Chain A
Amino acid sequence: MASYGKLTRHQSRTAYLFITPTMLLFLVFTVIPVVMALYLSFTNYDVLSRMKWVGTDNYKRLFGDVLYWTTFKNVAYYTVVFVPLNIALSLGLAMLFNFRRPGVRLFRAMSYMPTLTSAVAAATVWVWLLHPEYGLVNTMLGYVGVTGPAWLAQTETAMLSIILVTLWQTVGSNMIIYIAGLQGVPDYLYESAKLDGATAIGRFRYITWPQLRPTTFLVSTMSIIGALQLFDQAFVLTQGGPGNVTKTPVYLIYQQGFNQLQMGYASAQAFVLAIAILIFSLINMRVNKSEESVV
């Protein structure tokens, strides 16, 4: 008995030793900054000259900050449209490219391409494509007799354009994750379903979709987090305009912190954003029933 305890102790010591580097990095680069930011959100920290405790002043100010809530509304709209579309498109592509046919690798590689370009560079090219008079998109529309809108400059289409551009850029990587997921679904399930006379739709509904639940959970969680932190594409494509409809919380946080030197207030804004992400992710967990096991 005694020797058994010694062994476990030895093993656990080794285990701690192994995870120490990771935990240290996690502590230094994640835990400490987050705790610091929480503390800063209760101060009037300006990076340069002061860091006085101001209680909940920042949060009170946040409550009446109309612009901040507008940006929240913007990203909420973005998230609600973007995430389902992202899942549908990347899953659709994955199922299409999961067939073992000659040339399928080429198509996989091609749909993954946009992910490899830098967000800012891609957005810059899209600004061009979406130009109202000389852009490719409106020129094509012109051939079928439609006068396209000023995609990025009009309030109706600005956010939609951002959604489409970010979709174009992100479905590739999610497609890869889904292909991996699809290849993990055991063949015998399909085989027995076919023997029982299940249709293609039935097989998708009762085998593919439930089997992919962990994958969907991963993809949706990452998209939600990414969506709520939308910044670079929106910034390059529209600079937050027109009429504030594409301004995002991260943009405001950056502006308050680094341009206005109100790091305390910016930290409060960042914390509220973090909480919003947590809430969205929790809802996502419920919807996906992620804690139930897949059978």
Chain B
Amino acid sequence: MRKWVSLIALAGVTSAVLAGCGSSGGSSEGSPAASSSASGASAAPSGSKSSGKAVELTFWGDWSGEGQKQFQTMVDAFNKSQDQIRVKYVVQQDLITKFLTAATSGGSPDIMLWDRWRTSLYAPKNVLHPVDDFLQKDGLNRDDFYGEALKELSYNGKLYGLPLTVDARALFYNKKLLTDAGVSAPPTNWQELEEAAVKTTKWDGSKLQVAGFSLGDNGLFNMYLQQAGGTMLTDDGKTNFNNDKGKAVLDYWDRLMNQDKVYKIGFEKGLGESTDAFATGKLAMTYTGPWMLTTYKKYGKDLDFGVVPPPAGPNGDKGAIMGGFGLVIPEASKHQQEAWEFIKWWTANKDNALLWAKTSLNIPGFKPAIEDPFFQDDPFWKPFLETLEFAKIRPQHPGYSVMETDALIPNLELFQQNKQSAEDTLKKAQQQGDKLLQDNAEAK
């Protein structure tokens, strides 16, 4: 008897913990944080019945701190420009989770900051409102936007928002380290990159003092594969790297890591902004995005650096990955027309897009704004603009990110630590990757 009592008690504990960990089983009910903030936000858009009063819109994003100030600048400028619509920015730390609750149980925002790659997963669920009709009615020209960014916001021929920012990684190089090592010009292809990396690397016994080139981010495989002339997925949604293109990338990495020894596993791990390896001269060259420009410029004279587009592969193929954010209108919003007015004002108007660019130091998705001297005459922006000309978005498959993080990258890590040959790595990544793509493909 006692035994059974304790067993039941144990089951109680287990299940309580299960419900506590949360998120896992219990789904949306009983998550007080989510519901309270949702109701807090829903208070805003209610005062819109009478036509004389301004329509109040809620804009959700997960940018806080500096980002929040930047958004606020834009929101204030919009509110001042007319008196029909009042927008309010609300920071949601856990944006996507909050949206899941709001999209189904009320309190949906009217405008939302959107990590564009999520479109292929969410658009099929009919929670985002297509903007094609708005676009046509207002006579906006699709060619004014970065095509790849629009593609990433589209699903099944429908467009679900407009691009707010576009970014891509380019090669940052430390001018002083390169000159000291006798490298006259930044690399333009794999060969030159390797030579420059070898020359700038410095070892002190078993301690790596200066790494010539960062191999810390395996997630860049996609970019290297493009440079080798390959693509990540086939048209029918299978992995496409277990071939000589993928092999070329791994051989190149292997040469840099194990023969040239220009990098060491874990070299940059855990270095925060204050000890960033590139900023402190411990790393000569690295791939990173425009978001690091502000940080690196803060070092002033101590860090003399330049940026060039990613070096081309063995056959001259160029490759870069475009990412960035968009603004979308949830299907559950009650003021979609007004929300569109706000999005259009911000992302499809040269002056406002430029104001946004200067406020936040992001590249806007609206091309006419890029023509401004602010971008064209700046040696740091120019290489990014060149890179964006050939940058491609990640494949639009709902299972793509899972494939990358759970199948491809783990195998690449084993490869980099010499635990697995290049052939095995590609084969296993293909097998596991295809399975994950298939398991996460359904998008109905």
* A interface residue numbers (CB < 8 A to B): 26, 28-34, 36-38, 40-41, 45-50, 61, 65-67, 127-128, 130-135, 147, 150-155, 221, 225, 229, 231, 240-244, 247, 250, 253-255, 257-263, 266-267, 269-271, 273-274, 277-278, 281-282, 285, 290-291
B 402-418 to A, binary, CB cutoff 8 A, 1 in contact else 0: 10011001110110010
Q: Which residue of A lies closest to B21 (CB)?
A: A229
The 3 closest A-B pairs by CB, nearest first: A37-B25, A153-B266, A150-B266
Q: Are B265 and A67 in contact (CB under 8 A)?
A: no
Q: Are A258 and B413 in contact (CB under 8 A)?
A: no
Majority secondary structure, B binding face: helix
A273 to B207, CA, bound (A): 43
Chain B residues near A29: list those with CB within 8 A. Answer: 19, 30
Please, could you name 10 A-B residue pairs with CB atoms under 8 Å apart, sorted by A?
A28-B30, A31-B15, A37-B19, A132-B266, A132-B269, A225-B17, A243-B413, A243-B414, A260-B440, A278-B10
Q: Which residue of A lies closest to B411 (CB)?
A: A243
User: Does B126 sit at the interface, judged by CB under 8 A?
Assistant: yes
Chain B residues near A241: list those with CB within 8 A. Answer: 409-410, 413
A278 to B413, CA, bound (A): 34
User: Does B13 sit at the interface, judged by CB under 8 A?
Assistant: yes
Which of B21, B100, B405 is in CB contact (< 8 Å) with A250?
Answer: B21
User: Does B64 sit at the interface, judged by CB under 8 A?
Assistant: no
Q: Are B417 and A155 in contact (CB under 8 A)?
A: yes
Q: Are A285 and B264 in contact (CB under 8 A)?
A: no
Q: Are A262 and B440 in contact (CB under 8 A)?
A: yes
User: Does B362 sit at the interface, judged by CB under 8 A?
Assistant: no
Chain B residues near A61: list those with CB within 8 A. Answer: 439
Residue of B26, B399, B414 ringed by the most chain A CB atoms within 10 A: B26
- The number of residues on chain B lying at the interface, defined by a beta carbon within 8 Å of a beta carbon of chain A, is 64
Which of B100, B121, B266, B399 is in CB contact (< 8 Å) with A152?
Answer: B266
Q: Are B19 and A253 in contact (CB under 8 A)?
A: no
A28 to B26, CA, bound (A): 11
A170 CB, nearest partner CB in chain B, Å: 15
Q: Which residue of B lies closest to A149 (CB)?
A: B266
Residue of A152, A250, A261, A278 ringed by the most chain B CB atoms within 10 A: A261
Chain B residues near A243: list those with CB within 8 A. Answer: 410-411, 413-414, 417, 419
Q: Which residue of A lies closest to B26 (CB)?
A: A33
Q: Which residue of B lies closest to A32 (CB)?
A: B29
User: Does B49 sit at the interface, judged by CB under 8 A?
Assistant: no
Q: Are B419 and A155 in contact (CB under 8 A)?
A: yes
User: Does B97 sit at the interface, judged by CB under 8 A?
Assistant: yes
Q: Are A34 and B406 in contact (CB under 8 A)?
A: no
Q: Are B27 and A263 in contact (CB under 8 A)?
A: yes
* A130 touching B270 in the complex, CB below 8 Å, given contacts A243-B419, A250-B21: yes
Q: Are A260 and B26 in contact (CB under 8 A)?
A: no
Residues of B1-24 contacting chain A, CB below 8 A: 2-3, 6-7, 10-19, 21, 23-24
